[in-house]
A and B are shown apart, each in its own frame.
Chain A
Amino acid sequence: MDPQLIAQLVVIGFTFFMLLNSAAILVYMERKVAAFVQQRYGPYLVGPKGLLQPLADIIKLLMKEELRPKAADRFLFYLAPIVSATAAFAAFSVVPFGAPTTFFGLLKEPVRLAPADVNVGLLVIFAITSMGVYGIVLAGWSSNSKYSLLGSLRASAQMISYEVSYALSFAAVIMLAGSLSLSDIVNQQAGYWHLFGAIPIPKWYIFIQPIGFFIFLTAGVAETNRAPFDFPEAEQELVAGYHTEYSSMSFAMFFLAEYVNMVTVSAVATDLFLGGWHGPFPLPDGFGWIWFLAKVFALLFFYIWMRWTLPRYRYDQLMEFGWKWLLPGAVLNLIVTAYLALKLGGL
């Protein structure tokens, strides 16, 4: 068989496998970071330093009884977590995590390090993310409980509200890069500027779009229903959230979807603003993905840190923030970027 094809299939399988692993790693990371923020130890019994804790969690979840409320719509009840998880994984399929590599000369031609590279890649991510809303909506509806329904409606209203600011913030990046393909955008960020002729600063978009980066991350956090925007989820502590009726694997699927969404938002933010696999100092060829991993992990740590530090927004505060502050901010960012890009020419 064509070694190119095999290499591409290996990359696809590897990406999927690593996404699953990343969810497990995130479970551990979340609990450990939360513990250290709260000045306690976190899991340390299972395995060395508690590293096998996610495995224990997964085994527990798999062995729980699968419950379903009698009046729930059976097909939709099981479809909802599937839709959530599928959308989460599919969104990562156009995110490149390294430069096209020949695996140190094993292959004749470089194979790209992404399952797919479409020339409208960024829009594909956005489209699939907006399909993820359906998982939440269907979960709330099919649980056949008024509280689940209202919780899911709030969560999905929040997601679609923040989608607009999300799109506007990456529209500014698209304007600067001139392409919708993520690998093109990353390649535009190679190289250095020389501040005062001596200090090299990598040409990442975060330095020319700081507000855009902030808006993107905020909207991303709201999209993934994470703190401080997780009111619909935290409703569980108060009344009910959209996934109260779920147990065992279906529940695990929702959390898998949430963690993979976090990874996707971090990965896209890395590719768009932080230069992807181009680091502050260049690594030998073929190792760019190490930089990518490091940046994604930094963003994920930031996510978890935010959750356990900031208080939660109330729902109306959340919606007001999204529509009255973030959206005008994103529009202004876009206008200013457009004006400056036109004025200053080839940036």
Chain B
Amino acid sequence: MDAILFWVLAAGAVTASVLVIGQRNPMYSVLLLIVSFMALAGLYVQLGSPFVAVIQIIIYAGAIVVLFLFVVMLLNVPTEEMPTGRQARLLGGAGPRRFGAVLSVLLAFELFWALRELKAQALPSSDVMATSVKTIGLRLFREYSFAFEATSVLILVAMVGAVILARKEPQ
């Protein structure tokens, strides 16, 4: 049961992510990103972290993606045209596209190699209790309290920055 859930969610996450970067219509990309987030939230629940899963849905899928969606809708982002001519073939023509594709594949291979060096270790038995929110809270507000406060200042700065950057120039 655990295995089926993992493979289904993993396949879903990978497919959704590939479609996110592959879709031409940015609206669909954003919606597929939500699907990818949901799949990942499912994986977090399976890993015994329901709190992180719910936080992911509330903040990532519920707020950040809404922000993306607003921008896509308001700016009426055009569907990207496919490159024509020599640039069209992914591996044809020197240029950033080919270089970028090669780099990504290299990265993937390197990560796989690094992981193979790590001996595959089975996870501890599946009746590990879900992490309680209390544990996370105590950790967060004791050992990580400085990071917490710093993050709140960061969000404040980001908020002010975003408002100023997106404002129309006062005439």
In the complex the two chains form, is B58's CB within 8 Å of A127's CB? yes
Query: What mask results when residues 58 to 95 of chain B are scored 1 for a CB within 8 Å of chain A, else 0?
Result: 10011100100110011000000000000000000000
| Whole-angstrom CA separation of A120 from B54 in the bound complex | 8
Q: Chain A residues near B58: list those with CB within 8 A.
A: 123, 126-127, 130
Residue of B nearest to A164 (CB): B63
Q: Chain A residues near B54: list those with CB within 8 A.
A: 120, 123-124, 126-127
In the complex the two chains form, is A130's CB within 8 Å of B63's CB? yes
In the complex the two chains form, is A131's CB within 8 Å of B62's CB? yes
B19 to chain A, nearest CB (A): 13
In the complex the two chains form, is A130's CB within 8 Å of B62's CB? yes
In the complex the two chains form, is A133's CB within 8 Å of B66's CB? yes
Q: Chain A interface secondary structure, helix, strand, loop or mixed? A: helix
| Whole-angstrom CA separation of A73 from B130 in the bound complex | 41
Residue of A nearest to B55 (CB): A123
In the complex the two chains form, is B63's CB within 8 Å of A119's CB? no
| Whole-angstrom CA separation of A120 from B133 in the bound complex | 8
| Cβ of A330 under 8 Å from chain B | no
In the complex the two chains form, is A133's CB within 8 Å of B62's CB? yes
Residue of A nearest to B73 (CB): A141
| Cβ of A296 under 8 Å from chain B | no
In the complex the two chains form, is A118's CB within 8 Å of B70's CB? no
| Cβ of A149 under 8 Å from chain B | yes
| Cβ of B27 under 8 Å from chain A | yes
Q: Chain A residues near B47: list those with CB within 8 A.
A: none
B40 to chain A, nearest CB (A): 14
B141 to chain A, nearest CB (A): 12
A149 to chain B, nearest CB (A): 6
In the complex the two chains form, is A134's CB within 8 Å of B34's CB? yes
Residues of A within 8 A of B (CB): 73, 76, 118-120, 123-124, 126-128, 130-131, 133-134, 137-138, 140-141, 149, 153, 156-157, 160, 180
3 closest A-B pairs by CB? A130-B62, A127-B57, A123-B54
Other 7 A-B pairs with CB < 8 A, given A130-B58, A130-B61:
A76-B31, A119-B132, A124-B54, A131-B62, A137-B66, A141-B27, A156-B66
Query: What are 26 A-B contacts defined by CB distance under 8 Å?
Result: A76-B27, A76-B31, A119-B130, A119-B132, A120-B51, A120-B54, A123-B51, A123-B54, A123-B58, A126-B54, A126-B58, A127-B54, A127-B57, A128-B57, A130-B63, A131-B61, A131-B62, A133-B62, A133-B66, A134-B66, A137-B66, A137-B70, A141-B27, A149-B73, A156-B66, A157-B70
